[in-house]
Amino acid sequence: MNDAATTLVTGGAVVTVDDEFTIHDPGWVAIDGRRIAAVGAGEPPPELAATAGEVVDATGCAVMPGMVNAHTHLFQTFFRGLGDDKPLLDWLRDYIWPGAQHFDPEIAYHAAKVGIVENLRGGATTVIDHQYVHTGERAGEIDDAVCRAADELGVRFLLAHGWADSRYPDAMIESADVAIERAGEMHAKWDGHDDGRMRVEMAPLIPWGCSDDAMRATVAASRSWGRGTHIHCAETKAEVDMSLEDRGLRHIPWLYGLGVLGPDMQLAHSIWLDDDELDVIAETGSIVVHCPVSNMYLASGVARIVEMRERGITIALASDGPGSNNRQDMFEVLKSTVLLQKVHRLDAMALQPEDALHMACRGGAAAFGTPDDLGSIEPGRRADLLVVELTSPFVAPVHRVPSALVFNAMPHDVRHVVVDGRFRLRDGVVPGIDDAVLADEGRQHARALFGRAGLPLPR
């Protein structure tokens, strides 16, 4: 796509996800450079059609904002299927920790590359990667390798530099000073790159592995950069019990006491929270990142999404890492978000498709730190959008477009993906990527990793 020319997307059902959840069916979207220039119903104005550098026919499709995968671990692309029968802490101990200690920049680059292509195909134009593998002599280069993969593939990307300074495998521990130094180098190199498409922030890993002083220091560092903080929170009952035993505090009171909650705090999972904790999250404006498929996969529990929404808490959606999902498919996340709340509450009205789309787009934009710049198809916002085919036997006939997107659509229905006004998937193909070659390279690097770690693969 020519960044200097206006591109018109015409003929599709434009699901804007604006404040009124306006749908133009059919409608059109005009993209000028990196931003949305105009949007409307019916046919585009003749003067726009006459001057467009490219016209994309979206007849039979939905045009929607790109979704934000607000919490994943790209390195886990090479760990799919290894947690099928394990709760979180056992899965970490038996596979993630032993394998992660043998990563190097080359393996990290290839794992990220496979994972980012998967995200683009799965409907995510923006990815927040909670990247906590920093081991070996080249530990400082691993984040850079991940950012390089994201830059090459053109996804909107936030590298959340994960760290733990206690109660973690020795080879994976980082002090606050080391974590800030390494993340600071990445911030200087990548944050703001390509007109803000790339961002870097701090990401303490888990409450039971992070000391009070280190938490305060890393949050302060991230805020000094104008960025937020990303952390796993109350993912399992066992972890909350550990916090009560260690500190006499549940996760949210601990974070509140440290003064680190706020609209720049992303709380991944947030399952085992009581009413008081939900009230504190709402009062501080902190953001919850909901990972329903992973929570079911690891039998961690069901987040209180309906009660959070009733309190006005901002909620983003995510796949979590492909080691505990086992794929990064935001359409699956949309469907699971709605169905899990329905069956958990025995209430068919608990959530509706529009609610899930709002969380995946508008909530995700808030998690990325740009609530007014992403997440909806409105003039002036970034041109991040999907064109999703609605005519396949899995989807048609379509009576309500939001319902079809949430309950019917799948990654193979994604025809085009646009990030910052540029095609990152065109006619189902990621430019410059041969899927067979990418998969083969991934297999080779995964085998090398597990051979180096001495881990037997399950049969």
Summarize pLDDT for 309-359 with one digit per residue, the tens: 999 999 999 999 999 999 999 999 999 999 999 999 999 999 999 999 999
Q: What is the dihedral of CA 107, 112, 117, 121, to 10 degrees?
A: 130
For residue 406, the surrounding DSSP H or E stretch is helix 401-407
Tokens standing for 293? 């498929």
pLDDT value for 4: 41
Predicted structure pTM score:
0.97
Residue 386 to residues 108, 188, 361, 414, 418, Cα–Cα distance (Å): 27, 31, 11, 7, 6
Q: Are 114 and 442 in contact (CB under 8 A)?
A: yes
SS3 82: coil
pLDDT value for 3: 43
Which of the four pLDDT bands, split at 50, 70 and 90, describes residue 1?
Answer: very low
* Cα three-residue angle 375-56-396, rounded to 5 degrees: 75
Q: Are 131 and 145 in contact (CB under 8 A)?
A: no
Residue type, 364: G
pLDDT digits (tens, 9 = 90+) for 118-157: 999 999 999 999 999 998 889 989 999 999 999 999 999 9
Q: Which residues, other chains included, contact 270 with Cβ-Cβ below 8 Å and sequence gap of 6+?
A: 233, 234, 281, 288, 289, 290, 303, 308
Closest CA to 383 of 358, 430, 419, 415: 419
pLDDT digits (tens, 9 = 90+) for 256-297: 999 999 999 999 999 999 999 999 999 999 999 999 999 999
Please state the rounded mean pLDDT for residues 414-423.
98
Q: Where are the domains of the chain?
A: 6-65+386-425, 67-368
CA–CA separation, 141 and 265 (whole Å): 26
The DSSP annotation for 223-271 comes to: HHTT--EEEEES-SHHHHHHHHHHHSS-HHHHHHHHT--STTEEEEE--
Please state the rounded mean pLDDT for residues 208-222.
97
Q: Are 413 and 390 in contact (CB under 8 A)?
A: yes
Q: Which residues, other chains included, contact 50 with Cβ-Cβ below 8 Å and sequence gap of 6+?
A: none
CA–CA separation, 83 and 61 (whole Å): 36
pLDDT value for 458: 57
| Residue listed under structure tokens 């730190």 | 369
pLDDT value for 93: 87
Residue 162 DSSP one-character state: E
pLDDT digits (tens, 9 = 90+) for 27-45: 999 999 999 999 999 999 9
Q: Which residues, other chains included, contact 96 with Cβ-Cβ below 8 Å and sequence gap of 6+?
A: 76, 79, 323
pLDDT value for 245: 96
CATH tag, 6-65+386-425: 2.30.40.10
- CATH-assigned architecture of domain 67-368: Alpha-Beta Barrel (3.20)
pLDDT digits (tens, 9 = 90+) for 347-401: 999 999 999 999 999 999 999 999 999 999 999 999 999 999 999 999 999 999 9
Tokens standing for 277? 């904790």
304-311 long-range Cβ contacts below 8 angstroms, 24+ apart: 304/271, 304/273, 304/278, 305/337, 305/341, 305/351, 306/341, 306/345, 306/350, 306/351, 307/275, 307/278, 308/270, 308/278, 308/281, 308/282, 309/355, 311/278, 311/279, 311/281, 311/282
